[in-house]
Copies of this chain bind each other. A is one copy, B any other.
Amino acid sequence: MASVVVVGSVAYDSVETPFGKVEDALGGAATYFSVAAGFFCDVQLVGCVGEDFRDEDLALLKSRQIDLAGLEKMKGKTFRWAGEYGYDLNERRTLDTQLNVFADFNPTLPQAYRSSDYVFLANIDPALQLRVLSQVDTPQLVACDTMNYWIEDHFETLLETLKHVDVLLINDGEARQLTQESNLIKAANKIHQWGPSTLVVKRGEYGALMFQRDHRNQASIFAAPAFPLEDVFDPTGAGDSFAGGFMGYLTGTNRSDPDAFRQAIIFGSVMASFNVEKFSLERLKTLTFTEIELRYREFKRLTHFDDFAHWRDEVTT
């Protein structure tokens, strides 16, 4: 089966929401991505952890079709992030970030990873993203995430990375900041010129928008809602679970045509919707593929509407 290489953080998160709190829970972009993608395809993880990384967490990743040959165990402590959310779960406040072993991370890809066709560069230093990408022989589809910090302080390196990226997945605030355009269509046009032929804009509870240019430079847009949930407990990792479902589906089906991209957006939305139902990876741990399929079909019901053939005959204007 095809596999996807992911590079990003493996972390211990301390998170507080209006609905509860967890301390030093398993997290990190590469973790959420890998567990989500693992439902669809093989995953080759590139990252690092400290000496304090728990055996049970290692065991969880191993049980999930995730190759850990690229996960380095380094001297020191695992990357830590602490944050909190208010009742408006769209707004996150970072309380503390400790890079720890991540500060000295200089990834070298295991030989088996280098022939992969699919690559996801999670939100890390764009210089590291480039270094990882340069070690993959002939990637067919490269997706990438980033954040405000890299946009502000490493803009030129980020642009250099984007030249080699097919799919940029960011949130709407980041898209606006990156392009200095408040309108997302204009933002997408700019980003297309920088390299990525696909821009996926994640909008939290409002769903996702995908902007694409085909090989004839024809533009198209796909809009997907978020799955309406009565209880959202913890948005941490929603974007990375989304990316995991998205890239996992494309990798698992070995497709990159426009129809598959749209299905991938829905699978991404499905994975994100499950992820936020509990803290940390608690919900993804117990998730089954049957549940994923059922929720995909619920997305179909959520968005379906009929065409209106013959309606025009019934009115006079």
A residues contacting B by CB (< 8 A) are 1, 38-41, 65, 87-88, 182-186, 203, 206-207, 209, 220-225, 228-232, 252-253, 259, 262-263, 265-266, 288-289, 293, 296-297, 300-308, 311-312, 314-317
Contact = CB atoms under 8 A, between A and B. Distances in A.
Given A1-B315, A183-B231, A228-B223, A304 B40 contact: no
Given A203-B206, A262-B306, A229 B311 contact: no
A263 B308 contact: yes
Nearest to A186: B230
A306 B249 CA distance: 13
A182 B315 contact: no
A229 to B, nearest CB: 7
Given A206-B206, A223-B225, A289 B304 contact: no
Given A206-B203, A209-B228, A225-B223, A315 B289 contact: yes
B253 A225 contact: no
Contacts of A222: 302-303, 305
A229 B88 CA distance: 27
A39 to B, nearest CB: 5
B302 A289 contact: no
A229 B188 CA distance: 12
A246 to B, nearest CB: 13
A40 B302 CA distance: 25
Contacts of A231: 183
A293 B301 CA distance: 23
Nearest to A185: B230
13 contacts: A1-B316, A38-B317, A39-B315, A87-B182, A88-B182, A183-B230, A203-B206, A209-B228, A223-B228, A288-B317, A293-B308, A297-B307, A303-B303
A293 B305 contact: no
CB-based closest 3 A-B pairs: A223-B225, A262-B305, A206-B206
A315 B4 CA distance: 14
A231 B288 CA distance: 43
